[in-house]
Amino acid sequence: MSGNNYSVFNAMVDIIASPARALDEIRDHTAWLWWPLILVMLVTSAAFAYYYSWVDFDWLVEETIRGLPAESRAEAAPGVRSFMSPTSSIAITVASIVFMTLVINAIVAVYLHLAAKMATSGEVRYGQWFSLSVWSGFPGILTAIAMFVVIFLADSNQLGQAELSPLSFNQLFLHAEPGDAWFNWGNSVHLVTFWSIALMALGIARWTAASFIKGLVIAALPWVLIFGIWAALI
């Protein structure tokens, strides 16, 4: 399916099932980016809103306090107990999801725009790179869907936020506990991240005529630096 018969809904299916076809169409349809962008934000926000309304919130508050540094735990506990509520947690989380999604995609687009100018010969506009960043992140919707599955299969409503990410490195390999040095690092790295990097690399390659390897280096470099330096500091 191509040409006038190809729609944004075809692209949302193909970015998962046939990414090369989707990326070829997406390049010339920048306005389509709002569909995956809004859908990912909505589903992710809905997952967290459902979690905060479902979880044993008193238990969650105490778990949050337990994860604070030991030296400041006693002093911070009253403030945490008075501030945390299902409503405030939902509002802050949803606002953070919207803000951070837009900011991260904007920063990634700037990086791709500059990196492609230096390393490739393709003529791609900033808006197109923003679109590629959004579409490359679309598989992240599966992370949100996985959150619903974890909640539905849970034995009780005493479930920590880290356990909502079954595809994180921490849940799959590290099994670090709150307070451990590798806990936040492991929960920030997901298998879906590698999928997104591969999609971005494929998009760079197809849009600039660069090799896939060069596209992979460009796409993966920021993540390697961020998580590599973080790991080294740990």
Run means of pLDDT, 10 residues per run, the chain, 234 residues: 79 97 96 98 98 96 85 87 94 97 98 91 90 97 95 95 92 87 92 97 95 96 96 92
Return the pLDDT at 149: 96
pLDDT tens readout for residues 78-94: 989 999 999 999 999 99
Return the pLDDT at 109: 98
Query: Which of 100-109's residues contact partners 24+ apart within 8 Å by CB, and which partners?
Result: 101/37, 101/40, 101/41, 104/133, 105/37, 105/130, 105/133, 105/134, 105/137, 106/130, 108/133, 108/222, 109/133
Return the pLDDT at 223: 96
Asked if 138 and 12 touch (Cβ cutoff 8 Å), the reply is yes
Helix axes 19-26, 8-17, angle to 10 degrees: 140
Return the pLDDT at 179: 74
Return the pLDDT at 71: 80
**DSSP state letter for 172:** I
Helix (H, G, I), strand (E, B) or coil at 168: strand
Asked if 108 and 133 touch (Cβ cutoff 8 Å), the reply is yes
Nearest to 8 by CA among 47, 28, 41, 35: 35
